[in-house]
Amino acid sequence: MPDAPSANVPDRNLALELVRVTEAAAMAGGRWVGRGDKNRADGAAVEAMRALISTVEMRGTVVIGEGEKDNAPMLFNGEKVGDGTGPEVDVAVDPIDGTTLTAKGMPNAIAVMAVSDRGSMYDPSAVFYMDKLVAGPEVADVVDIRLPAAENVRRIARAKKQQPEDVTVVMLDRPRHDRLAQEVRDSGARIKLISDGDVAGAISAARETTGIDLLLGIGGTPEGIITACAIKCLGGVIQGRLWPQDDDERQKAIDAGHDLDAVLTTDDLVTSDNCFFVGTGITDGELLQGVRYSRGRATTNSIVMRSKSGTVRVIESHHVLDRTAGLPRSEA
């Protein structure tokens, strides 16, 4: 008979508890889709996520949350979450990855959460932005963030027995990416520009069925760590280099002992091999469908992944709103 799981190690049952948390956040935030108020949307999702996370059997510490304690009344960095039993874990939350997408009713807004063994997540506090490369398992061994974008496109095309014109690269639509975008276009590859939500974009680059082959460009360091948890489960690759915004942030990073030229790998961003990623769609996208509402009910579409087993589940859930814990019908 196999040994019982240790109380200090996250086990498989945790995954289905966690998805209830992102479902609650998605249903709460989903009420604000297209209503033009990203702060109200985020506030509703945060409140719902916090209500449900307190029921999860874990002793969690928020490593990536809504900000520092003075600026974030709930789910702040360092906050203890869970019901106080079960394993000690690091917790990363983003109640809405893509608040602007939600406010405008645009695709690819999701509620996300990642959990790993305590002390295993990279500390993102020194530098807020990171230059990233994300790709799936089929090309994980051939890409390198230190290479020109065109060379990575060629390597992906060769590994997939395609032409560069068949490759699609996703990146945030930012002026800082103008030169990078031109390099990709000059290689012959296609580009999908996204206004926000690079967690969903990154995971889409790692999954075969999305039509996205590669994510490139500068985005949030916290989002990079959440993505790394997903990549641990999917078997692809994330590489990153810290990208200070100014001289003060650069000096802060150096003083903290960071090598700004170093390439951070998946294992640097999350050292544990036992981590979970869960996400629930708020608006429709390549990764997940958004929340559907109908006569006091809601339907959610979620992805649940665990690195230790490599299992990826896509879950469709049907909710009766006035019976859903933590989601009063008037607020759901």
- Hey, where are the domains in the chain? 13-119+275-323, 129-269
Contact yes or no for 301/281 (Cβ under 8 A): yes
Contact yes or no for 233/310 (Cβ under 8 A): yes
List Cβ neighbours of 33 (8 Å cut-off, separation of 6 or more). 41, 102, 103, 105, 109, 282, 283, 290, 291
Residue 176 marked in a binding site: yes
pLDDT tens, N- to C-terminus, the chain (332 residues): 344 445 566 666 798 899 999 999 999 999 999 999 999 999 999 999 999 999 999 999 999 998 775 566 689 999 999 999 999 999 999 999 999 999 999 999 999 999 999 999 998 888 999 999 999 999 999 999 999 999 999 999 999 999 999 999 999 999 999 999 999 999 999 999 999 989 999 999 999 889 999 999 999 999 999 999 999 999 999 999 999 999 999 999 999 889 999 999 999 999 999 999 999 999 999 899 999 999 889 999 999 999 999 999 999 999 998 766 555 444 44
Residue 271 marked in a binding site: no
| Count of beta carbons in the 10 Å neighbourhood of residue 73 | 13
Contact yes or no for 95/42 (Cβ under 8 A): yes
Residue 10 marked in a binding site: no
pLDDT given for residue 1 in this prediction: 37
Give the rounded distance of the alpha carbon of 267 from its chain centre: 16
Residue 66 marked in a binding site: yes
How far apart, in whole angstroms, are the C-alpha atoms of residue 202 and residue 132? 9
* Nearest CA-CA partner of 168 in 131, 139, 199: 139
- Give the DSSP H or E segment for 277: strand 275-281
pLDDT given for residue 66 in this prediction: 85
Specify the pTM: 0.90
* Nearest CA-CA partner of 111 in 11, 39, 199: 199
* Nearest CA-CA partner of 72 in 222, 252, 283: 222
Residue 175 marked in a binding site: yes
pLDDT given for residue 31 in this prediction: 96
Residue 4 is classified by DSSP as: P
Residue 293 marked in a binding site: no
List Cβ neighbours of 172 (8 Å cut-off, separation of 6 or more). 193, 194, 195, 196, 198, 201, 217, 218, 219
Residue 152 is classified by DSSP as: H
List Cβ neighbours of 179 (8 Å cut-off, separation of 6 or more). none
Residue 247 marked in a binding site: no
- Domain 13-119+275-323: what homologous superfamily? Fructose-1,6-Bisphosphatase, subunit A, domain 1 (3.30.540.10)
Rg over CA atoms, the chain: 19
How far apart, in whole angstroms, are the C-alpha atoms of residue 219 and residue 17? 29
Specify which residues 169 forms β-bridges with: 191, 214
How far apart, in whole angstroms, are the C-alpha atoms of residue 86 and residue 14? 9
Specify which residues 192 forms β-bridges with: 170
Residue 265 in tokens:
């790998």
Residue 37 marked in a binding site: no
Residue 196 marked in a binding site: yes
Residue 23 marked in a binding site: no
Residue 40 marked in a binding site: no
Residue 144 marked in a binding site: no
Contact yes or no for 164/154 (Cβ under 8 A): yes
How far apart, in whole angstroms, are the C-alpha atoms of residue 292 and residue 199? 22
Residue 138 marked in a binding site: no
How far apart, in whole angstroms, are the C-alpha atoms of residue 272 and residue 229? 9
Q: Three-state DSSP class for 275?
A: strand
Residue 197 marked in a binding site: yes
Residue 220 marked in a binding site: yes
User: What's the distance, Cα to Cα, between the start and end of the chain in Å?
Assistant: 44
Domain 129-269 classified CATH 1.20.1640.10?
no
List Cβ neighbours of 230 (8 Å cut-off, separation of 6 or more). 114, 199, 202, 203, 206, 277, 279, 305
List Cβ neighbours of 14 (8 Å cut-off, separation of 6 or more). 56, 57, 58, 86, 87, 115, 276
